[in-house]
Structure 1
Amino acid sequence: MDRMDRVDFKPTVFPQLTAGDMDEAADAYAAAPLLNCLLRELAEPTPEPGVHRLRADGRMLRVRGTRRPVEPEVYTGGAWHRLTHRELVAFAAEELRRSTGAANSELPAEMTDSRDVVAALLRVRAGATPPEDPYLRSEQSLITGHPYHPAPKTRGGGPVGGWLPYAPEAYTRFPLELLAVREDTVVEEGDTRALDTLGRAPAGYRLLPAHPWQLTLTGAGRAIRDAFADGRLLRLGPTARPFWPTAAVRTLYAPEDDLFVKFSLDVRITNDIRRLWRHDLLKVRATDAATAAAFAAQDRPAAWLSDRGYRTADFAFEELAVLVRDGLRDHLVPGATPLLAAALVEGFDGNPLDRLTEPSAWWAAYLRQVVPPVLEAFARHGVVVEAHLQNTLVAVDAAGTPVQALFRDAEGVKLLPGVTRAAGWERLVYCLIVNHLAELAALLAERFPGTDPWPAVRRELHRRGADHGLPEIAALLSSPTVPGKTNLLLRWTRADGADARYVPLPNPLAGF
C-alpha cells in the first residue's frame, strides 16, 4: 500500500443539481448503492482509509465517503484511475464473473437503466412541485432508493415516456383506469368494498380498477384482449380522483378516500417482477389476519395497515389483481403526521431530522416506537414483520418527535412455524437492525460527529428481550456479526427475488 496516494475522506456530498451537472449527479446517485453492494459482498477493507481489496483477484478499489460512497477509483498500472459509472458497471460485472463463474447480461443493463432513470427523474424534479402533504412528500422523495441494491431505480428498460407518468419520484399523481368485470368471472377474498366506491358498474358487472401502466404492459395479451372482445371486461374510463404513487411504485394512495390500493406491475423493481402472484394472494388474508391480531393485542400505539382483501378476474388472475389496504386515519394517534422511514434517511423538505441540534432524545423516542412492536409480534405471536425502511411509517408530533410506528405489507410477512424460528429471527434482524436502524444510525453519526447511536439501540433491545423472554436478544448482543442481504449476488445468479441470502457483517451492537 506504500505506493498508493493518501487522501482525506469527508462525508459524502452529492453534486449540486444545476442544469449543467445533472449527468454527474445521476452518476453519483447511481454509483452509491452499487458501490455499497460491491464493498459488502465482494470486498474487504484494508488499513488504508476508503481502500478495499476485491476478493476474487485482489484488485484495489478506493471510494470517498462511507454511508453513500462516491468517486470510485481502481488501482492499476501504479496509479489510481477514476471510474465513470459505465466503467463501474463493467468493473462490477467482471468481478462478479470472477467470483461466481457465471455470466449475466441482464444485470449490467439494469444498472445502466437505473442510472438513466435517476437522470430522467432529476431533470423532471428540477421543474416539478412536490406535494404539499408531508406524508406524500416523504413517499415520493426517494431518488437513491434501496442503498444496498445494484439497480434500485430500474424501470424495466422501457422508454422514459412509458414509466415517467407513474413515477412517485417525479411527484406524479394520476387517475386509475376503471374497468368492469362480469360478475361470474370475479375472484375476490376479504373486504373489497372500497373498490365499489370508485365508480358505478353496469348491471351484472363489478368494478375493477387497474393501474394504467400495468394495463399498457398486459392489455395486449390474449386473455385480456379476448375478454374485452367478448364483453367479460369493459372500459369505463378514468376514476374521478387521482391516486398518488408511493415509494413502492405499484402501491397508490388516494388521500380524499384514505385508501391504499396495490396492483400487479409486470416490471422488475429491485429484485422482483412486481406482480401480485397467485400463491401470495391465496395466503395473504391468513397472513394479514395473524399480523393484525398480533398488533391488536399490543398495549402501545403501533399499528398494522391491513391488506384487507383483493379482487381480480379469473381469466387474468395475477395481471389484473388489486389489493385493498387500510388507510391511515383510523390508525394514527391524534395530531401525528406519518412519514416514510426511508425518507428520513434519504432526506426531504420537512424531514424532522433537519430540526435536530442534538439527536439522543429523538433517537430514543424513535427506538421506543419502532423496536418493541416488532419484537413482541415475533415473541408472542410468531409473526416476522418485514420492518425495513420502506415498510415502516413513523408518525411524529408537532415538534417532530416520533410518537407512533405503522407497519405494512403482508406479502413480506413470515409466520412461524411456516419458517423456522432461526430463519424468522435472521430475517427480523436483517430487516429491523441492518436494513432499518443501521441506516438511521449511520446518518445520525454522520450529521452529529462524535455521536454513537448504538448504545441506545442495545439498551432498547436488552429491555425488550427481558420483557418478552427472548433468548435471541442476548445472542444478538454478543454476536460478532449480523446478516446483510446479498442483493448483488442474488441478481447476478438470477435467484428468486424472495430467496434471501446473507453475508456476515460486523455487528455494531457487540463490543460494548
Structure 2
Amino acid sequence: MDRVHLTPPPAADVAERADALAVAPLLNCLLREVAEPHEGSGPHGGSGRRREYRLPGSGRLLRVRGERRPAEPEVHAAGAWQRIGHTELVKLVADELRRHTGTSNHELPAEMIDSRDAVAALLTARARAVPPDDLYLRSEQSLLTGHPYHPAPKARGGGPVAAWLPYAPEAYARFPLTLLGLREDAVVEEGDTSALDALGEAPPGYRLLPAHPWQLDLADLAPAFADGRLIRLGTTACDAWPTAAIRTLYVPEPDLFLKFSLDVRITNDIRRLWRHDLLKLRRTDAAATAAFATGRAAWLSDRGYRTAGFAFEELAVLVRDGFHDRLLPGTTPLLAAALVEGFEGSPLDGTADPAAWWEAYLGAVVPPALAAFAEHGVVLEAHLQNTLIAVDGDGTPVQALFRDAEGVKLVPDVTRPAGWERLVYCLVVNHLVEVAGALAERHPPLDPWPAVRRELARHDLPEIAGLLTAPTLPGKTNLLLRWTNADGADARYLPLPNPLART
C-alpha cells in the first residue's frame, strides 16, 4: 500500500465520520424492513426536515434527517428527542428485532459494531495512502460506505485490523499474489486456466497456483506443505489490486481478474468459492457469453478455475477476462457503485447535462440486461457492484460491462416469474434507483423517472407493462435475512413504493 507522510486525522474526527457512515445503511435497513412512517402531532410532530417513524415492536418513535442516506437518529423518550450514536442504534435495532421476530441473534450486533470499527480503520489508513491514478481502479476502491441497505456492509469477520487492512480496497491496497506450486496429481481444473501459468514458473511435477495471502492466513494447509503437495514459489512480479468485491483482484499487466475464496463473512455470506457454484460455472458462463455475443455491451467471462483436490474450496482461483478488446475504443470503465458513493473524477459530478447523461446511461445498461433475459433466459445479477459503465472522453456513458457468473440465474433453472423478480430487484431497485437518486441529489431539478419509463417501454417484454404500473417493487430484506440466519442466497423481498408508477 503506497503511503505518504500526511498528518493523520484527529481520532475524534475519524470516530464521528465512521459513526455517520455506519449509521446510514443501518438506518436504511431498519426504516425499510421494520419501521412504520409516523405522522405525529405536538412534541412528536412538526419535525421539519426530519422524518418520523414508529418502531412497532416497542412503540418507540424514531426520527432521522435525510432520505437517501439517513443521519442523526433521535429517539423520543421522557418527553424529548434524544440523539443516539451508532452504538445506541445497534442496541435499539437488536431490541426491536427481538420483539419483531421473536428470535435472538448475538452475531449480527457484533457484525454491526465490527463494520463501524472497520470504517474507522479504513478512514485512518486512507488518509495516509495515495489513491490510484487510474480512474477505473479509483472507482473500484472508493466504497467506504458500501451496500446502502445492509446493516454491516464493512464487517470483516471480526478479525484484527492488521489481518485484513493490507488487502482492503477502500484503503487503496495493492499487493503481489502468493505463488504456490501444486503437485500435478492434486490439480483440479475446468475451462481455460492458461493465464495462471503466465504469472510465474512452477518446477517439474507442479502446476502454478496463485493464492490470496489473506486466505492463506485463514486456511490450515500445514499438512500439504509438509508432504510436498504444496510448495511456496514466492510472489508475482506485479501487484494485484483488490476491487470492490474484496476477494476479486485485478492484475493490470496481464489485464486479468482473479477471484479467490475468503473464509470471512462479508455482507450476507462466507465468501468461499463453493464447490456447487464452481461445478455449474461453465454452463452458466457459457449462457451469459452467448447472450453477449453480439451488441455493444460486454460480458467479462469467468473462463475457468483451478484448485487443489484436497482443498477444493479453500484454494480455488477463478480466472475472469479482463477488458482486452471488450471496451469500446477511447472509453474508460467505471464501477456503477462508485457513481452512487462518489469519487474524485466521477462523471456524475462533472456533467453539464444530467438529463442527457442519464438517458445515455439507461441506453447502455437497460437494453442488454433485458435482452439477456428475454432472448436467452439469462438473469444477470446486474446490481451496482457487478456492473461497469464505460464512459467516453466527455464522461458520457457509452457501454455497459457485466460480470460474475456465480450470481447469474438461468431460466428454467428458476421460473420466469422468479427470474424476473430477481432481475427487477438487481437492475431496478439495487441499481437504477440508487444511481437515479445520486444524480438527482447532485442535480436537484432533474426528475430521473420519466426517462426510465421511456427506456423500459421501448422493450417488448410481457412483464414491462406490469413493472410500469405496479404499485410496488421487490426490496431485499438484508437486515431480517441476517437476523434470522437465512442463507445469503435465499433472497426475501418486501414491497417498496414503485417510483415508475408515480411518473
TM range (shorter): over 0.9
Q: Pick the aligned partner of 1:33 from 1, 6, 25.
A: 25
1:75 maps to 76
Candidates 242, 248, 252, aligned match of 1:251: 248
1:456 aligns with 2:457: no
Aligned residue in 1 for 2:435: 440
> For residues 273-312 of structure 1, what are the structure 2 equivalents within 5 Å?
273-296=270-293, 298=294, 300-312=295-307
Checking the alignment, whether the CA contact within 8 Å between 2:349 and 2:442 is kept in structure 1 is no
In the alignment, structure 2 segments of 5+ residues that lack a partner are 1-8, 40-44
Distance 1:247 1:408 in 2: 13
Instruction: Give CA-to-partner distance per residue, 1:30-59, whole Å, 9 cap, x none.
Output: 000000000000012234541111222322
For 2:188 and 2:159, locate their aligned partners in 1 and report how far apart those are by CA, in whole Å. 31
1:488 corresponding residue in structure 2: 479
Indicate conservation of the 8 Å contact 1:358/1:448, yes or no. Answer: no
Alignment of 1:466-477 (within 5 A): 466=460, 470-477=461-468
Deviations 1:464-505 (A, max 9, x none): 2x3xxx111001111000000000000000000100000100
Task: Show the 5 A alignment for 1:257-276.
Answer: 257-276=254-273
> Superposition pairs for residues 346-495 of structure 1, below 5 Å?
346-464=341-459, 466=460, 470-495=461-486
Q: Which residues of 2 match residues 180-191 of structure 1 at below 5 A?
A: 180-191=181-192
Deviations 1:60-90 (A, max 9, x none): 1111111111101111121111111100000
Displacement of 1:19 after TM fit? 5.6
**Structure 2 partner of 1:150:** 151
Give the Å deviation of 1:450.
2.9
CA distance in structure 1 between the partners assigned to 2:255 and 2:271 by the alignment = 23
Tell me, yes or no, if the aligned pair for 1:54 and 1:60 is still in contact at 8 Å: yes
Q: TM-score, normalised by structure 2?
A: 0.95
Q: Determine the C-alpha separation between the residues in 1 that align with 2:256 and 2:317.
A: 12
The answer for the alignment partner of 2:4 in structure 1 is: none
**Equivalent pairs: percent with the same residue?**
74
Q: Verify the 8 A CA contact 1:117 1:153 in the aligned structure 2.
A: yes
Match for residue 108 of structure 1?
109
Q: Does residue 120 of structure 1 match 2:121?
A: yes
Match of 1:172 in 2: 173
User: What is the TM-score when the length of structure 1 is the normalising length?
Assistant: 0.94
Structure 1 spans left out of the alignment, 5+ residues: 1-16
Quote the Cα distance in structure 1 between the aligned partners of 2:490 and 2:433: 22
> Which position in structure 2 is the counterpart of 1:7?
none
Give the Cα–Cα distance (whole angstroms) in 2 for the partners of residues 450 and 76 of structure 1.
38
Q: Are residue 327 (structure 1) and residue 322 (structure 2) matched? A: yes
- For 1:452 and 1:189, locate their aligned partners in 2 and report how far apart those are by CA, in whole Å: 48
**Aligned partners of 1:274, 1:217: CA distance in 2, in Å?**
12
Q: Distance in 1 between matches of 2:457 and 2:248?
A: 35
Say whether 1:225 aligns with 2:216.
no
SS in 2 for 1:244: strand
Instruction: Give the conservation status (yes or no) of the 8 Å contact 2:331–2:393.
Output: yes
Query: How large is the Cα RMSD of the aligned pairs?
Result: 1.2
Amino acid at match of 1:34: L
AA partner of residue 284 (structure 2): T
Matches of 1:445 and 1:241, distance apart in 2: 40
**Residue 209 of structure 1: SS of its match in structure 2?**
strand
Instruction: State the one-letter code of the partner of 1:91.
Output: L
C-alpha distance after superposition, 1:69-125 (max 9, x if no partner): 110111112111111110000000001101101100000000000000000000111
Task: Tell me the distance in 1 between the aligned counterparts of 2:12 and 2:159.
Answer: 25
